[in-house]
Amino acid sequence: MSNGSASKSIDNLKWLLALAVFSAAVIGNSYFSEIAFLYRVLAVVFLFIVGLGILSVTTFGSNALTLMKESRKEIRKVVWPTRMETTQTFLVVFSAIVILCLFFWALESLLSFLTKLVLG
């Protein structure tokens, strides 16, 4: 067995284990319905965190975590608009919407008038 296929089979086992943990959370929540709701919610959240922890050590999970970290760095680089820029953009868009609504209302009125004129 090569190193790549061994790693893939270990990853598959981790996925199955995580699936089993998620299934235990869902099935356990309905099976133990007589237990207080708060304790069931805490148990489900705990099991989902455990399942996500298992998935995070797979190849796919580590790549996903790396992507999230890089995305967070990129979000910090974004230059967000000021309040004034946001207000001005809103006013331009709102004005364009009002003008287009008036245009389409006038067009619809004209076509409606012409239709009544032609059809009697």
Residues 2 and 51 in one domain: yes
Q: Does the pLDDT of residue 103 top 70, yes or no?
A: yes
**The tokens of 67 are what?**
């992507």
Residues 70 and 98 in one domain: no
pTM for the whole structure: 0.56
Residues 9 and 66 in one domain: yes
Residues 25 and 63 in one domain: yes
Determine which of 6-10, 45-49, 50-54 has the lowest per-residue pLDDT on average.
Answer: 6-10
Domain residues for the domain of 69 are 1-78
Mean pLDDT of the chain: 92
Residues 55 and 73 in one domain: yes
Which residue, among 43, 59, 50, has the nearest Cα to 10 in the 3D structure?
59
Residues 43 and 68 in one domain: yes
Residues 36 and 64 in one domain: yes
Interval 99-119 mean pLDDT: 96
Residues 65 and 94 in one domain: no
Q: How many domains does the chain have?
A: 2
Residues 18 and 2 in one domain: yes
Determine which of 5-9, 16-20, 36-40, 72-76 has the lowest per-residue pLDDT on average.
Answer: 5-9
CA angle 38, 44, 48 (to 5 degrees): 145
Residue 48's CB is within 10 A of a number of other CB atoms, namely: 15
